[in-house]
Amino acid sequence: MIELVLFGTFLVLLFLGVPVAFSMGLSAFAAIIYQSGTRALSPTSGVLYAGLSSETLLAIPFFILAGTIMELTGISARLIELADALVGHRKTGIALTTILVALIFSSISGSGPATVAAIGGILIPALARRGYTKRHAASLVASAGEMGIILPPSIAYIVFAVIASDYERVSIGRLFMAGVVPGLILLLAFYVVAVFLPRTGDLAKASASAHVDHALGRSSRPGRGVKGALSGVADTTADSTPAHDRATASAGATGQSASAAGSDGGSVATATATLEPGTDSQAAAAAAVTEIRTTRAPAAEIGRALWRAVPGLLVPVIILGGIYGGVFTPTESAAAACVYGLLVGVFVMRELKLRDLFSVFTQAGIASGRIMLIIATATLFAYVITRNQIARDVADALLGLTDNWIVIVLLINVVLLIAGMFIDAISAFYLFVPLFAPVLLELGMDMTTIGVMMTMNLALGLVTPPVGIDLFVAAGIAKIPFWEAAKGVWPFLVVGVGVLMLVTFIPVLSNGLPDLLGL
């Protein structure tokens, strides 16, 4: 009966639109009171505090602050400029640019919505100008943003490692590396989908290029990149900035109604969108991707773009190199990334003003507080599950359902995919790791594969209706209704589920690289 009170109250509150953080906390309180009365509430304050006192969780606010700083310094725009210089001349170069920039920025932000917010303002209008419908442009950027919680440094892996330590210890460093190969496979699959997406016309042809150049007030010399009149930039930035704000409003509304006051990093998207990124870098990148290339960029232009992108490219080196070189713990590497970002943004790139620092720290603090609230109440929810041995009952029920382990694993994947449609990754981890980890361990699956599998399930939820916060952010930037963007996301979901099945049943995909590195 305690199970019915706990999960029944949670589902009812969720259905009524109560944020996930409060739904989990209130349902846990209801279960405790039902079982033992109000006197049993006295230990709950200790449980809430214990859930937040883990040193490992300190990495979360630092990574959020680092991601906020990196976007506001214009690093995302410089990465877009570099990727466009390298591959923008290809017929599907803008799609490949989107994939490459998502790959790099995900290694900085650790959050899906933050990645979409950082790159979407420039790339979604650029994709539309190259012939992609707004529906497909938004779905491509939103899907690429999933890498924010699959590739290192992922906030989701940090939370999973903390929860999983109650069952089998797995290091954050190992989980970080375990996500690399599956993430790259998923990005490759998304690029293949993008190649076959219908386009309104072959805008790579010279005639179309000349027409667009004329409309933007530029000469039609092929191969030009950032150089050129910036008359077209005003249109691009005018399109992206208000949409950015509207995306923030959409994401914020979604976070309040369906995913508590924050998600895997949904709150990060809100934080980073409230301040204006570096104008110069934004304009230069917008000019670069608006220009429709017909030939490879000159080596000098690639060199300039590479030099401008070096500060951004060094961030993953500092974070991951520091961890695996034994210089930093994950928490220390996140703090080092914050210091590096501040120094570069204020004194080197000079696009982050001293007067902006208060807003930067305020927004990052609000985003961190939202996520930590989810962690606190989810810890209490997990405490009730553990105290009443509900996880053991679920394990016995699943193992008694069938002797076929493949069916059990598939069933768990289906439950996680459905859960990802409605709740954020952090809440889902606290809800399902205590329930499913013992079952999967008993079936012989290692904790590393479990972590990557669960994270990929919940990453797909970031773009799955009815509550796909990545898709909400992208739709706001594209100025289209959410459900219009949702129509274009299904090809990405299909290949995403296919890659998920490969990772689930081929453990070497997640374990190979960590084992090779001796982690």
Structure tokens at 324: 């695996």
SS3 91: coil
pLDDT in tens, 232-276: 333 333 333 333 333 333 333 333 333 333 445 433 333 333 344
Average pLDDT over residues 449-475: 87
Closest C-alpha to 474, from 73, 132, 145: 145
Amino acid 222: pLDDT: 37
- 238, with CB counted inside 10 A (0-12, 13-18, 19+), is exposed
Lowest mean pLDDT among 58-62, 169-173, 219-223, 225-229: 225-229
Query: Does 320 score more than 50 pLDDT?
Result: yes
Closest C-alpha to 128, from 405, 377, 479: 479
Burial 480-490 (b: 16+ CB within 10 A, else e): bebeebbebbe
What gap in Å lies between CA 492 and CA 485, rounded to an integer? 12
pLDDT in tens, 125-136: 888 887 888 888
Amino acid 249: pLDDT: 38
CA–CA distances in Å: residue 60 to residues 141, 306, 369: 24, 30, 10
Band (pLDDT 50/70/90 cuts) for residue 409 is very high
Query: Does 162 score more than 90 pLDDT?
Result: no
Q: Is there a contact between 155 and 149 (Cβ–Cβ < 8 Å)?
A: yes
What gap in Å lies between CA 35 and CA 239, rounded to an integer? 55
Amino acid 293: pLDDT: 62
Amino acid 451: pLDDT: 93
Band (pLDDT 50/70/90 cuts) for residue 485 is confident
Give the residue carrying structure tokens 């070189």.
325
Average pLDDT over residues 39-62: 79
Residue-wise DSSP of 426-471: HHHHHHHHHHHHHHHHHTT--HHHHHHHHHHHHHHHTTSTTS-HHH
Average pLDDT over residues 92-99: 83
Q: How many helices (H) and strands (E) does the chain have?
A: 27, 0
Amino acid 400: pLDDT: 77
Q: Is there a contact between 206 and 223 (Cβ–Cβ < 8 Å)?
A: no
Amino acid 456: pLDDT: 93
The torsion defined by the Cα of 503, 505, 510 and 512, in degrees rounded to 10, comes to -130
**Of residues 454 and 48, which shows the higher confidence score?**
454
Average pLDDT over residues 333-342: 86
Beta strands in 25-170 (DSSP E): none
Contacts 24+ apart (CB under 8 A), 97-101: 97/123, 97/126, 97/289, 98/123, 98/127, 98/140, 98/141, 98/144, 98/194, 99/144, 99/187, 99/190, 99/191, 99/194, 101/76
What gap in Å lies between CA 447 and CA 452, rounded to an integer? 9
What's this model's pTM, rounded to 2 decimal places?
A: 0.74
Lowest mean pLDDT among 285-289, 303-307, 368-372, 455-459: 285-289
Query: Does 113 score more than 50 pLDDT?
Result: yes
Give the residue carrying structure tokens 């072959």.
202
Average pLDDT over residues 444-450: 92
DSSP class of residue 389 equals: T
Query: Does 212 score more than 60 pLDDT?
Result: no
Q: Select, from the ranges 88-92, 165-169, 219-223, the one with the highest average predicted confidence (pLDDT).
A: 165-169
Amino acid 205: pLDDT: 44
